[in-house]
Amino acid sequence: MTLTLDQINQAPLQEALHQLEGVYEHSPWIAEKALGQRPFQSLAHLKYALAAVVSEASQAAQIALIQAHPELAGKAMVSASLTAAFTREQNQAGLTHCTAQEFALLQRLNRDYNAKFGNQFILAVRGPRGKGLSRQEIIASFSRRLHNPADFELHECLRQIHRIAELRLNDKFSNPLELGNEVWDWHEQLAQWSDPGYAEKGQLTVTYLTDAHRACSDYLCEKMRQCGFDAVSVDAVGNVVGVYQAALPDAPTLLTGSHYDTVRNGGKYDGRLGIFVPMACVRELHHQGKRLPFHIEVVGFAEEEGQRYKTTFLGSGALVGEFKPEWLDQCDADGISMRSAMTQAGLAVDAIPDLERQASDYLGFVEVHIEQGPVLNELGLPLGIVTSINGSVRYVGEVAGMASHAGTTPMHRRRDAAAAVAELVLYVEKRAAKDADSVATVGQLQVPAGSVNVVPGRCVFSLDMRAPIDAQRDTLVADVLAEFDAICTRRGVHGALELTERAAAAPSHAAWQAHWEHAVAALGMPAPMIHRLPSGAGHDAMKLHSIMPQAMLFVRGQNAGISHNPLESMTSDDIQLAIDAFSQLLSHLALQQP
């Protein structure tokens, strides 16, 4: 029988406790403490209150909670003494049908994990979509997490327990999640295309205008048409643009979207979530035959990550008139110019200047994005409102020294290009750490045509430096560039840097940030769940920021919020909440129109 929030809010304590029995395995103290915070405004609020009880508990209580859980495919399963919920869950994940090898491996993993951490491994085997992980995924997760530090694993076990509890609560409340599940599946479908050299390894890499990129563009066009957009097109730089018209033709437009290109071996949600969430909302409007007092323009930006060509934010940059014709002559690693890649893809290069949007036509820009960090995950929050996007500067660099014999060149006679860059890397790390919230990264570092027995004569590298405010970023950059100069002079090598990106910090527009806060609150999330946070990652919103008001909504990532990594993960619960928040935003904006 489906449980309701009213029942939980109004039932006598013991009855409410009974209704929540089994949500947290053999640990009624959690529900008992959380029920002290009734009434709950939403299921998300109840989940948050339960998780907060655990995070405020002593470590001894947290460890006892972990130890209240059975091992995966462990003794309890073999002796059929699992609780009904765990029997269902381990069964659904196929753990009751392990092969002898899988079973033996799980036993060894259980043994090793217990030996290292002193408690059993906890994993929500129903997974982020609730349909159940495969045995291979479970074993891979088990093997990977065995190498985590102890404090990280303690918290990851607790996060997995909250996910188990969330799924059990969804069952008790018959939480629909239709849209969240469907949009979660859209990400899986879009991830079927990946560039050669990565696809074969099961890695997701979609760089600008490759065949995989074009297939993604076709998929997004078709999906937008199915969602009921009135006009769907691919523009001159490859952005996929869908428009859902307003009730009146001369209405203003709400602009939204994000990018569908990825970093190399990236995650499925970075960018793509921000295209799919508004698409799902438009489909709901279409199904209801509803039109709003503004057009909705959803853009799948074709290029944001700057992987194939040096330029970043190319898709959104074109919309704000920042596309530079000289970019067309940039060449990729295979010597293919951007111009020929665009021509090959059938894009109308000459029409690029026409892409510039007139700000006066627009209400503003909103972007939904996976957080790509640990904050929401650690706070047990599904959504967060972005206050500002860090400003960033990027360079590609090269050091030219002297290639020479590794055996005969005395150490004091070398002009080692790689050693010079290595010295810079350590300086960059130390210097950025000096500021509380600056970050700096050398993400690429190669010795082209290097040999094991040759002192590196040449070394190429990248530099990425960011800070919440531009002045702080610029001081960091000035210090790094000065040190680079000093290192090259001292080592007698020649250093060169080419600026490839400068993106100003983008504070959210106060009124639009408030729109998101209103939307999240309208989901039944009380003040402690309205969390504001800065974005360390860059986003297309930084570009639109230069011509119109913008604000972003962050959505929690799983696996401690890791991103730019195949472990990037989201639950269909959180995708559903993002869709619900976006729908609330649309309704709120509609009411605000004259």
Give residue 335's identity as a one-letter amino acid code. Answer: G
Tokens linked to 184: 């979660």
Binding site partner of 538, from ligand HGY, Mn ion, none, Cβ cut-off 5-8 A by kind: ligand HGY
Residue closer to Mn ion (CB basis): 368 or 477:
368
Q: How far is the CB of 139 from ligand HGY (least distance, A)?
A: 30
Q: Which is nearer to Mn ion, 270 or 332 (CB)?
A: 270
Kindly state the helix (H) or strand (E) to which residue 227 belongs, with its residue range. helix 211-227
Q: Compute the least distance from the CB of residue 506 to ligand HGY, in Å.
A: 12
Q: Does 537 bind ligand HGY (CB under 6 A)?
A: yes
Q: Minimum Å distance from CB 501 to ligand HGY?
A: 9
Q: Which of 128/391 has CB closer to ligand HGY?
A: 391
The DSSP symbol for 241 reads E
Degrees to nearest 5, angle at CA 73 with 71 and 78: 105
Contact flag: residue 304 with ligand HGY (CB under 6 A): yes
Candidates 180, 538, 557, 561: give the one binding ligand HGY (CB under 6 A): 538
Please say which residue, 141 or 316, places its beta carbon nearer to Mn ion.
316
Residues touching ligand HGY, count (CB under 6 A) = 4
Give the interface with Mn ion as residue ranges (CB under 5 A): 270-271
Residue nearer to Mn ion on the CB measure, 45 or 272: 272
Closest CB to ligand HGY among residues 132, 538 = 538
CB atoms under 10 Å from CB of 437, counted, come to: 13
CA distance 283 to 285: 5
256, 282 in Cβ contact below 8 A? no
Q: Taking CB under 6 A as the rule, does residue 261 contact ligand HGY?
A: no
With CA atoms as reference, report the closest residue to 435 among 399, 464, 403, 465: 465
According to the binding rule CB under 6 A, does residue 315 interact with ligand HGY?
Answer: no
Question: Binding to ligand HGY by residue 367, rule CB under 6 A?
Answer: no
Its sign, for the CA torsion 153, 159, 165, 166, is negative
Q: What is the CA radius of gyration of the chain?
A: 26
Smallest distance from ligand HGY to CB 535, Å: 8
Residues 391 and 546: their CA atoms lie apart, in Å, by 13
Q: Is the dihedral of CA 178, 181, 187, 189 positive or negative?
A: negative
Closest CB to ligand HGY among 321 and 443? 443
Q: How far is the CB of 64 from Mn ion (least distance, A)?
A: 39
Report, in Å, the least distance between residue 270 CB and ligand HGY: 6
Q: Is 305 in the site for ligand HGY (CB under 6 A)?
A: yes
Q: How far is the CB of 394 from ligand HGY (least distance, A)?
A: 9
Distance CA 372, CA 383 (A): 12
Which 8-state DSSP code applies to residue 313? S
Work out whether 303 is an interface residue with ligand HGY (CB under 6 A): no
**Across-strand partners of 533?**
386
Q: What are phi and psi of 553, to 5 degrees?
A: -115, 130
Footprint on this chain of ligand HGY (rule: CB under 6 A): 304-305, 537-538
